[in-house]
């Protein structure tokens, strides 16, 4: 085992350096993982540029960012070793949300809300490095037919699984996804697999919408670009027409846009489920026309993180229910991470998901 490793150390907004640092020493309840793939997430970008709503609760650098990662087990602490849980060489993906399993909230199974959780890549060192230490309970084995790059997308997919479960999709339902980012397109596939009759994907950029169409969306709608062949000026009228005036059975918003969140209420029908998923700004307030929401017996739900949905997400990849390969558009070396973050922010080269391979 080498004593040192390359890591990208984030110090403060737009100040991150590739450094040679000691390989983390693991505790008795930890496992050392050699990172093979780590996705660049929107929240890494927000953290890097200092506009993260997560930052206030998590502090600043020095910190190794990156929370969507997979790798190979290289060292095992004595507790997981005694339990025979992992062998060196095992292929694993790391749930970066490392719960305490001891607080009252964890004991009720509401792990996403654990009061003592550590988050690798956000509050503790993460995956933009050659090695990362993880609590042994955070590791999931990667199915044999799933690559490291695909596995690195388990974290966002597990979030998507939890949110889509809240839509309570019934056979034949008419569903709308507003926000064609990587998670939105994962949601399209999950909703289709859940038995929806029609999934409409709504966004503002054709290249993303077209990936959604390739991934199973029955219809794509561009609400912003008048030159787009998918342009629709009045989304509400369009959904009304498509559903014979019944509107959508379920709508989900993988976007931080309040406009999209309010539109979701406008286009949802009787007994509909509206699931809010993306992170809006701290000042954001959603206006609900209360009487119509009551008269149509709507359910408005919020979704945060991925409690207990990791095994389902891994199965969805392994069985092909969700094809994450299509979403992987760009690869960066660890030394080029700052450039990668800038390119993803600028959406250079029609990026969907960029992966760092150390």
Return residues touching Zn ion (CB under 5 A).
41, 100, 103, 106, 114, 116
For residue 137, count other CB atoms closer than 10 A to its CB: 15
Give the largest CA-CA distance in the chain.
66
Closer CB to Zn ion, residue 41 or residue 221?
41
Say how many residues make up the chain: 358
Name the minimum Å distance from CB 97 to Zn ion: 10
Name the minimum Å distance from CB 182 to Zn ion: 10
Name the minimum Å distance from CB 106 to Zn ion: 3
Name the minimum Å distance from CB 115 to Zn ion: 6
Name the minimum Å distance from CB 77 to Zn ion: 20
Residue in this structure with the two tokens 């990026």, named with its chain if needed: 351
For residue 104, count other CB atoms closer than 10 A to its CB: 9
Closer CB to Zn ion, residue 235 or residue 305?
305
Name the minimum Å distance from CB 338 to Zn ion: 18
Q: Is the peptide bond before 263 cis (omega within 30 degrees of 0)?
A: no
Name the minimum Å distance from CB 111 to Zn ion: 7
**Token digits of residue 136:** 């042994």
Closer CB to Zn ion, residue 187 or residue 200?
187
Nearest to 212 by CA among 240, 163, 252: 252
Closer CB to Zn ion, residue 90 or residue 100?
100
Cα Rg, the chain, nearest whole Å: 21
Closer CB to Zn ion, residue 152 or residue 263?
152
Residue in this structure with the two tokens 């889509």, named with its chain if needed: 164
DSSP string, 288-306: --HHHHHHTT-EEEE--S-
Give CA–CA dist 170/188, Å, rounded: 14
Closer CB to Zn ion, residue 28 or residue 54?
54
The b/e string for 6-32 (b: 16+ C-beta within 10 A; e otherwise) is bbbbbeeeeebebeebebbebeeebbb
Closer CB to Zn ion, residue 137 or residue 168?
137
Closer CB to Zn ion, residue 127 or residue 203?
127
Name the minimum Å distance from CB 33 to Zn ion: 17
**Token digits of residue 113:** 């809300």
What is the distance, to the nearest Å, from the Cα of residue 329 to the centroid of all Cα atoms in its chain? 16
Give CA–CA dist 267/144, Å, rounded: 42
Closer CB to Zn ion, residue 114 or residue 151?
114
Name the minimum Å distance from CB 324 to Zn ion: 14
Strand-strand pairing, 198-203 and 219-222: parallel
SS3 66: coil
Nearest to 311 by CA among 193, 162, 111: 162
The CB-nearest residue to Zn ion is 41
């Amino acid at each position: 085992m080498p004593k040192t490793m390359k890591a990208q150390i984030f110090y403060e907004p737009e100040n991150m350096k590739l450094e040679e640092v000691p390989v983390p020493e693991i505790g008795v309840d930890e496992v050392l993982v050699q990172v093979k793939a780590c996705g660049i997430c929107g929240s890494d970008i927000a953290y890097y540029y200092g506009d993260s709503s997560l930052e206030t609760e998590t502090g600043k650098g020095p910190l190794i960012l990156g929370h969507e990662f997979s790798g190979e087990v290289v060292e095992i602490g004595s507790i997981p070793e005694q339990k025979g849980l992992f062998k060196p060489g095992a292929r694993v993906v790391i749930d970066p949300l490392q719960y305490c399993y001891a607080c009252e909230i964890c004991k009720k199974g509401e792990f996403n809300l654990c009061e003592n959780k550590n988050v690798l890549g956000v509050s503790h060192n993460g995956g933009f490095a050659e090695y990362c230490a993880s609590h042994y309970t955070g590791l999931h084995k990667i199915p044999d037919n799933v690559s490291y790059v695909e596995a690195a997308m388990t974290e966002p997919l597990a979030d998507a699984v939890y949110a889509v479960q809240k839509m309570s999709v019934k056979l034949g339902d008419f569903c709308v996804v507003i926000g064609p980012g990587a998670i939105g397109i994962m949601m399209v596939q999950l909703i289709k697999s859940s038995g929806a009759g029609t999934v409409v994907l709504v966004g503002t950029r054709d290249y993303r919408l077209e990936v959604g169409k390739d991934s199973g969306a029955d219809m794509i709608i561009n609400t912003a670009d008048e030159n787009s062949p998918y342009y629709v000026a009045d989304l509400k009228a369009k959904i009304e027409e498509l559903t014979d005036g019944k509107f959508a059975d379920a709508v989900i918003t993988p976007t931080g846009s309040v406009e999209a969140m309010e539109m979701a209420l406008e286009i949802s029908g009787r007994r509909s489920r509206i699931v809010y998923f993306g992170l809006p700004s701290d000042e954001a307030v959603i206006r609900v026309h209360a009487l119509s929401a009551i008269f149509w017996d709507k359910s408005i739900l919020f979704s945060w993180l991925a409690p207990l949905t990791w095994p389902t997400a891994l199965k969805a990849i392994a069985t092909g229910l969700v094809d994450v390969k299509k979403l992987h558009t760009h690869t960066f070396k660890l030394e080029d991470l700052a450039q990668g973050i800038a390119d993803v922010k600028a959406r250079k080269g029609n990026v969907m998901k960029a992966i760092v391979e150390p």
